[in-house]
Amino acid sequence: MKNISESLNISPPITHRLLTTLKMDGLVFQDADSKKYSLGTVFIDYANKIITDVPCLDNRFTID
């Protein structure tokens, strides 16, 4: 959490509250053993939906 806090330039207590909220919503996951954070399944579901629903992201349009 210290790395996240420093990277975002926000205090550790605020970082902890934000991560707790994101965990409750399924947007991030915290490994029980390592305590490291990763993207949660809800975030990945949102990303997949965007990729499939936004036409310019499905390679039909290319920039030369």
> pLDDT digit string (tens) for 2-54?
899 999 999 999 999 999 999 999 999 999 999 999 999 998 898 888 888 87
b (16+ CB within 10 A) / e for 21-58: ebeeeebbbeeeeeeebeebeebeeeeeeeeeeeeeee
Supply the pTM of this predicted model: 0.68
